[in-house]
Amino acid sequence: MSIVKNVACPVCGTLCDDLEITVDGNRVIGTKNTCAVSEAKLLNFSDPGHRNLKPLIRRDGEMVEVSWDEAIKRSAQILAEAHYPILYGWSCTNCEAIRMGIALAEEIGGVIDNTSTVCHGPSILSIQDVGIPTCTLGQIRHRADLIVYWASDPYSAHPRHVERYTAFSDGRFQHSEWESYVARLRGVLGKKRLSRASELTLMKDIPLPAVTGEKLPPSFRTGKRKLIVVDVRKTRSAEHADLFLQVEPNKDFELLQALRLLVKDEELEVNEIAGLPVHLLEEVADALIGCSFGAFFFGVGLTMSSGKTRNIDAAIALTQDLNYRTKFVIMPMRGHFNVAGANVVSTWQTGYPFAVDFSEGYPRYNPGETSVVDILSRGESDAGLIVASDPVSNFPREAARNLIKQPLIAIDPVASPTTVMADVVLPSTFVGIETEGTAYRMDRVPLPMKKLVEPPETCLSDEEILRRILKEVRHLKEVRGET
Amino acid sequence: MRELLVKNGFVYDPLNNIDGEKLDIAIRDGKIVEKTSNPKILDASGMVVMPGGVDIHSHIVGAKVNSGRLLRPEDHSKDVEYKTPVTRSGVGYSIPSTFTTGYRYSRMGWTTVMDAAMAPLKAKHTHEELNDTPMLDKGSYPLLGSNWFILEYLRAKEYDECAAYIAWIMRATKGYAVKLVNPGGLEAWGFGRNVRDIDDPVPNFDITPREIVQGLCRVNRMLNLPHTIHVHANNLGKPGNYVTALETMKCVEGQAGDGKPVLHLTHCQFSSFGGRDWRTFRSAAEEISEYVNTHNHVTLDLGQIIFTDTTTMTADGPFQFILYQLTGNKWVNCDVETETGSGIVPFHYKRKSFVHATQWAIGLELALKTKDPWKIFLTTDHPNAGPFTAYPKIIAWLMSRKARDAVIDRISKRARRRTVLDEIDREYTLSDIAVTTRVGQARSLGLNRKGHLGVGADADIAIYDINPQKEDLPANPGRIEKAFKNAAYTLKDGEIVVRDGKIVKAVDGRTFWVNVKTTPSSIEIEPELQKVFEEYYTVKYENYLVNEDYCKNSDPIVIKPKI
Ligand code: SF4
Ligand SMILES: [Zn+2]
C-alpha cells in the first residue's frame, strides 16, 4: 500500500492539486482531500462494466475486437480519405495529446474543435472583443474582500472552489470567513453547539437563510470577505452567501447594465430592475466600488442564457469600469479539468482557441462557420474523431444525427453513447490516474497530472493512439504520393 | 562526422577582430573547428558571413504572449503561413504562433532568442511553448522584482538566503536570468496601485524599488550568473521617466567593481521620455546616452518603435492599464499570485502622432548617440514596439542616413521640429550591426558559444547576400533590408536550415537554463520554503517545480557561485 501525495484532480477546472490517494495492488482504495465528485471518479474509474478494453471495429453492423494495428490502420484510412473531417473533444485529456491532435488535424486538413465550443465559447468571443481583467486564483485567496459568483453554483459544479480559493480560503491579506459563517450559523441554529458546527465540513449542506432583503447585511461594513451570489434560483451556494440576488430569468444583461450605470454614478429612473429593488442595487454598486479587491466568477448560466456573448461583454465591461475605482477581476468557471488547456495549446500552435479549420492548409477561425456543431448541423463533414467526450449525448439533435451518419472514431477509456455509435473504438487510459501529462487550471496555471496506477495492458494513452494514427496517415499519404 | 566549409565569404566576427575579411569557416559536428578534412563546400563568395543573430529580449512564448494571441484573431487572419513538407502552418503578424515564430527568426538569420519574461508559477507553460518553437536555441527570464520571498529576504538584508532562493528558482523554473519589471510596483498593482519612483516604498512590504534593484544586483553578482539583472524600470512609458531610468542605473554604480556590466536596462526607448506631460513630451535620449557613454556598468537594448499595428504586452500591469485608458482598446490584465502581474493592449504606432513619432526618434537617437554598439542592442521589445520581423528595417535605418531621412520627412511635423535625429550623421558599419544584433547580445548573456565564429563556437551562422566591397550600402537601404529579411543561408549547429529565405530543414534547438551549483557551506532554504509555500501559493511545492523533462533539449549552464 502506498499513499501518493500532491495529486491533481482529473475532474473539474478547479484542478485541486492536494489530493492524497491510497493505492494498493494497482487499485485506488482511498482518497483524501477529495470532494464527492472526485472521490466517486477516483474510486470507481476502473469499474469494468463501463470500461473500453479492446480496440473495436464495426463490421457488417457488428462491433468486433481487432488488433491495435488494424484499428489504427482503419482509423487512419477513414481520416486520410475524408475531405472534411472533424476532430472533437480534448478537454478531458492532457496537453500532450492535444498537441498530437492538432498535428493530425493539420496533416489531414480537418477541423479541430474542443468542448468550449458548447460551454464558454461565448466567453472567449467576448474576451476577443473587449479583453479581460483577471488573475490567478491565489490573488483572490490573498486579497479579495468581495467575491461574486454569477450564474454559477460552485458547491455543485466546483465543490472545493470556495474553500480553496475564495470566501473560505486563508490568504495573506484576507482570511477565511468560515468562522464568521459558523458564527452566523450558530445564531441561526441557536442551540447547536459550536463544537458540532466546527466539525462540519464544507461539503455538508447547511441551510442558512441568505440575505435577500432590501438592505445589505452588516458584514458589508467591515473589511472582511463578503460573498455575493447572483442566480435565477436559490442554489446551494446562494445559501452560503452574505447576500443573494435573485435575478429574473434572462435578465442578467439588464442587471449588469444597471450596475454599470450605478458604478459610473448615474441615476436609474426606475424602482426595480431584473426583479431587484434599485436602492438595493445602489448599495451593491457601492459595495463593488468600496471593496479593495473584488472578483467575479461566472458560469455557463451566463454564457448560455439569452444574450450569451452580450452578457459576458457586459460583465467584463463592468469589471473594466470598476478598475477605474478599485481593483476588480473576473474569471469564467471552466468545467472539465483541462478545458483551459485545450484552449491554451490550440492558441499557441494555431493562434486560435477552438474551432480551427485546416482545410486551406493554414489555421482558419470563424466560430459559427468553423465550429464543429455548425459544421455538423450543415452536414458538411465526412468523418469524425472524438477524444474523451460524448457529443452524441451533448450536441443538438441535428448535429448529433449527422455525426453518427459519418464514419466515426472514438478514443475513450469508457463507454458512452458516442462510443456505442462509433465505427472504431480505441480504448484509452485515464489522464491523471493512469497517464501523466500537463493540464491547465481554470486560471491557466499549468499543473502536472500524475500516474497513480498502471492502465490495463490493452489500453494506450490518447497521445500514443494519436501518434500512431498520425504516423499511419503520413504513411498512407506517402504510398499515394501525396506528400 | 558532418563537415562543412563556408568558403570565401566576407566574415564579420568582431569578437575575434575580424572585420569583413575574406575567410573560410570550418565546421565539424555542429562546432566551428580549425580545419576540416573532407567537407562539403558552401560557397559564400560575395556574401556577408556573421554569427547567427541573438535576441536578448523578445516576448515569444508563455502565458502572457498566448493571451495576446487569444485576444487578437484580427492580427492573425491577415498574416498566415501554409503548411509545407518541412514546416508546420501558423498565423500571426505581431504575435505569431510558436512554429511560425521560430521559422521567421530563422529566415532572418537569427539562431538564439531569449524570451523576456515568465511568471514562475506558469513556467511550465513557457517551456511547453519553447518546445514548440523550432529553429532556435532559447531561454526565458523568471519575473522576480515583486516576488514575496525576494521582497522579504531583501527587506531583512538576508542576501545569502536570497541568493540561495534565486539559485533555487532558476532550477525550479528552468530560468536563465533575473528579470525585474517595475520593481515593487507589481506587488502594489495587486491592489490596483503602483510605486511613484525608486524610493517610494512598496505597500505592505516596507521596501523600496531602489533596495530591490540594489539587492538583486548584489545577489546576481554573488551567484556569478551569466547575465546581469535585466531591468524594466519603474515609471515606464511616462513623460519625465528618464530620471527614473538614470536613478536606476546610478543606484548600482557602486557595485561595478571589475568594470563589467552589472545591469541591463531593457527597451530603454520606453524609459527615455522627457517633459512633464504628453504636451511637453520630448526625447531624453541625450541624457541617457550621455550617461551610458561615461559609464561601463550598464548595457541597454532599444525597444525601437515601428509604425505599425502591434500588440503591447508586459508584466507591467499598471503601465498596461494606462495604455488601456489612453487608447480605449481592448485590455487584458492577469496578475499572478505572490509574483507578478501582466497586461496586454493592442496598439497602433502612427507616423503622424507626435508622441509615437517622437518615440520612434528616441530609439534611433539612443542607438546613434550611444557611441559603443557593445552597450546598446537592437530589439523592438517584440511585440511591444513592433514585431521582430522589422529588424531588417531597423538595420537599414541604423546603416543609412538616407533611410532615416526618408521616414523623418513623413512623420508628425511637431515631432520633426523637435527631434535632433536629422542632425546625426553616424551610420552603423556591418561590424557595428554584427555587434548590436548578435555579438554584444551574446556577450551580455554570457553565452560563450554564441556570437562569434572562433574555434569551439556553435556553428550558428547567418549568410547574407550583400557584397560590402561592391555595394554602397548606405545609399541603398532597400538592399540592406532585403538581404537581412531573407538570409541567403542560415546554419544551425552546422546544418543548413534556411536557403534563400526559405526553411529547408526544421530543427528543434535547445533550452538554456542556469544551474547554480551551490557550495556545501551554502544556506539551506528549501525546508523553510516548503513550509511557507502553501501559505503563499495555491499549488503544491512539488507541482510548482519544472522538471528537466519539460525541456525538449535541456542545456543547463552550470555556474559556480562566488559565495
Ligand atoms: S473541486 Fe473539482 S478539482 Fe477539486 S477535488 Fe472536486 S472535482 Fe476535483
Ligand atoms: Zn519586454
Q: Distance (Å, rounded) from C-alpha A202 to C-alpha A135?
A: 25
Ligand nearest to the CA of A8: 1
Is the pLDDT confidence value at B219 over 90?
Answer: yes
- Band of residue A225 on the pLDDT scale cut at 50, 70, 90: very high
Residue A175: what pLDDT? 86
Ligand 1 centroid to Cα of residue A441, in Å, is 11
Residue B159 grid cell:
542576501
Q: Identify the residue whose cell numbers are 474553500.
A: A163
Task: Please list every residue in chain B whose beta carbon sits closer than 8 Å to the beta carbon of residue A292.
Answer: 191-192
For the residues B98-107, what does the mean pLDDT come to? 98
Ligand nearest to the CA of B232: 2
The yes/no answer on whether domain A48-118+337-434+454-479 falls in CATH 1.20.1370.20 is: no
Ligand 2 centroid to Cα of residue B379, in Å, is 9
**Whether A109 contacts A361, CB under 8 Å:** yes
Strand pairing partners for B7? B43
Task: Please list every residue in chain B whose beta carbon sits closer than 8 Å to the beta carbon of residue A450.
Answer: none
Q: Distance (Å, rounded) from C-alpha B557 to C-alpha B445?
A: 12
Residue A202: what pLDDT? 38
Q: Do A447 and B539 touch (CB under 8 A)?
A: yes
Q: Do A445 and B121 touch (CB under 8 A)?
A: yes
Residue A194: what pLDDT? 37
For the residues B77-91, what does the mean pLDDT come to? 97
Strand pairing partners for B58? B115
The residue among B258 and B302 whose pLDDT is bigger is B302
* B residues 126-155 lying closer than 8 A (beta carbon) to A: 128-129, 132, 148
For the residues B524-530, what does the mean pLDDT come to? 90
Fold of the domain spanning A121-332: Dimethylsulfoxide Reductase; domain 2 (3.40.228)
Terminal-residue alpha carbon distance, chain B:
42
Task: Please list every residue in chain A whose beta carbon sits closer than 8 Å to the beta carbon of residue B118.
Answer: none
**Domain extents in chain B:** 50-148+178-212+227-503
Is the pLDDT confidence value at A209 over 90?
Answer: no
Contact of B98 with chain A, judged by CB distance below 8 Å, is answered with yes
Residue A314: what pLDDT? 96
Contact of B60 with chain A, judged by CB distance below 8 Å, is answered with no
Min Cα–Cα distance to chain A from B92, Å: 7
Contact of A296 with chain B, judged by CB distance below 8 Å, is answered with no
Task: Please list every residue in chain A whose beta carbon sits closer than 8 Å to the beta carbon of residue B320.
Answer: none
Task: Please list every residue in chain A whose beta carbon sits closer than 8 Å to the beta carbon of residue B321.
Answer: 323
Ligand 2 centroid to Cα of residue B308, in Å, is 17
Residue nearest atom 4 in ligand 1 by C-alpha distance = A16
Q: Do B76 and A363 touch (CB under 8 A)?
A: yes
Residue B316: what pLDDT? 97
The rounded percent of chain B whose pLDDT value lies above 90 is: 96
Ligand nearest to the CA of A41: 1
Residue B192 grid cell:
490596483
Task: Please list every residue in chain B whose beta carbon sits closer than 8 Å to the beta carbon of residue A17.
Answer: 539-540, 543
Q: DSSP H helical segments within B304-379, as ranges?
A: 317-327, 354-369
Residue A465: what pLDDT? 98
Q: Identify the residue whose cell numbers are 492535444.
A: A98
Is the pLDDT confidence value at A186 over 60?
Answer: no
Segment A307-316, tens digit of pLDDT? 778 999 999 9
Q: What would the DSSP string read from start to end of A184-207? A: HHHHHHTTS-HHHHHH--TTS---
Segment A369-389, tens digit of pLDDT? 999 999 999 999 999 999 999
Nearest to A362 among B66, B83, B539 (CB): B83
Q: Do A351 and B91 touch (CB under 8 A)?
A: yes
Give the H or E element holding residue A440. Answer: strand A437-440
Residue B490 grid cell:
542560415
Ligand 2 centroid to Cα of residue B484, in Å, is 23
What is the gyration radius of the CA atoms in chain B, in angstroms? 22
Contact of A3 with chain B, judged by CB distance below 8 Å, is answered with no
Nearest to A259 by CA among A245, A241, A240, A243: A245
For the residues B100-124, what does the mean pLDDT come to? 98
Strand pairing partners for A332? A298
Residue A203: what pLDDT? 37
For the residues B202-217, what does the mean pLDDT come to? 98
- Band of residue B436 on the pLDDT scale cut at 50, 70, 90: very high
Q: Do A358 and B89 touch (CB under 8 A)?
A: yes
Ligand 2 centroid to Cα of residue B313, in Å, is 7
Phi first, then psi, for residue B317 (nearest 5°) are -55, -50
Residue A262: what pLDDT? 97
Nearest to A363 among B89, B192, B547 (CB): B89
Segment B311-370, tens digit of pLDDT? 999 999 999 999 999 999 999 999 999 999 999 999 999 999 999 999 999 999 999 999
DSSP E strand stretches across B62-213: 80-81, 90-91, 110-118, 137-142, 179-181
* B residues 332-361 lying closer than 8 A (beta carbon) to A: 332-338, 344-345
Ligand 1 atom closest to Cα of A15?
A: 3
**Domain extents in chain A:** 48-118+337-434+454-479, 121-332
Segment A12-35, tens digit of pLDDT? 999 999 999 999 999 999 999 999
Nearest to B117 by CA among B75, B145, B152: B145
Segment B3-12, tens digit of pLDDT? 999 999 999 9
The rounded percent of chain B whose pLDDT value lies above 70 is: 99
Picking from A99, A161, A445, A477 by the largest number of B CB atoms within 10 A of its own CB, the best residue to mutate is A445
For the residues A217-229, what does the mean pLDDT come to? 85
For the residues B137-152, what does the mean pLDDT come to? 98
- Band of residue A193 on the pLDDT scale cut at 50, 70, 90: very low
- Band of residue A220 on the pLDDT scale cut at 50, 70, 90: confident
- Band of residue A184 on the pLDDT scale cut at 50, 70, 90: low
For the residues B466-482, what does the mean pLDDT come to? 97
Ligand nearest to the CA of B319: 2
What are all long-range contacts of A448-452, with beta carbons under 8 Å and residues at least 24 apart? A448/A8, A448/B124, A448/B543, A448/B547, A449/A8, A449/A10, A449/A94, A450/A4, A450/A6, A450/A7, A450/A8, A452/A4, A452/A7, A452/A21, A452/A23, A452/A28
For the residues B198-221, what does the mean pLDDT come to? 97
CB-count exposure of residue A27 (10 Å: 0-12, 13-18, 19+): exposed
Ligand nearest to the CA of B385: 2
Min Cα–Cα distance to chain B from A130, Å: 4
Q: What is the DSSP letter of A460?
A: B
Picking from B64, B333, B534 by the largest number of A CB atoms within 10 A of its own CB, the best residue to mutate is B333
Q: Do B538 and A132 touch (CB under 8 A)?
A: no
* B residues 380-439 lying closer than 8 A (beta carbon) to A: none
Mean pLDDT of the residues in chain A: 92
- Band of residue A198 on the pLDDT scale cut at 50, 70, 90: very low
Q: Do A133 and B121 touch (CB under 8 A)?
A: no
Inter-chain CB pairs, A–B, below 8 Å? 182
- For residue A129, the Cα-to-chain-centroid distance in whole angstroms is 21
Ion ligand 2 neighbours, Cβ < 5 Å: B 116, 381
Residue A201: what pLDDT? 37
Ligand 1 atom closest to Cα of A33?
A: 5
Segment A411-469, tens digit of pLDDT? 999 999 999 999 999 999 999 999 999 999 999 999 999 999 999 999 999 999 999 99
Measured from the Cβ of residue B422, the count of other Cβ atoms closer than 10 Å reads: 13
Residue A204: what pLDDT? 39
Segment B343-356, tens digit of pLDDT? 999 999 999 999 99
Residue B259: what pLDDT? 80
* β-pair type (A356-357, A364-365): antiparallel
Contact of B80 with chain A, judged by CB distance below 8 Å, is answered with yes
Is the pLDDT confidence value at A363 over 60?
Answer: yes
Segment A290-305, tens digit of pLDDT? 999 999 999 998 988 7
Segment A397-421, tens digit of pLDDT? 999 999 999 999 999 999 999 999 9
Contact of A349 with chain B, judged by CB distance below 8 Å, is answered with yes
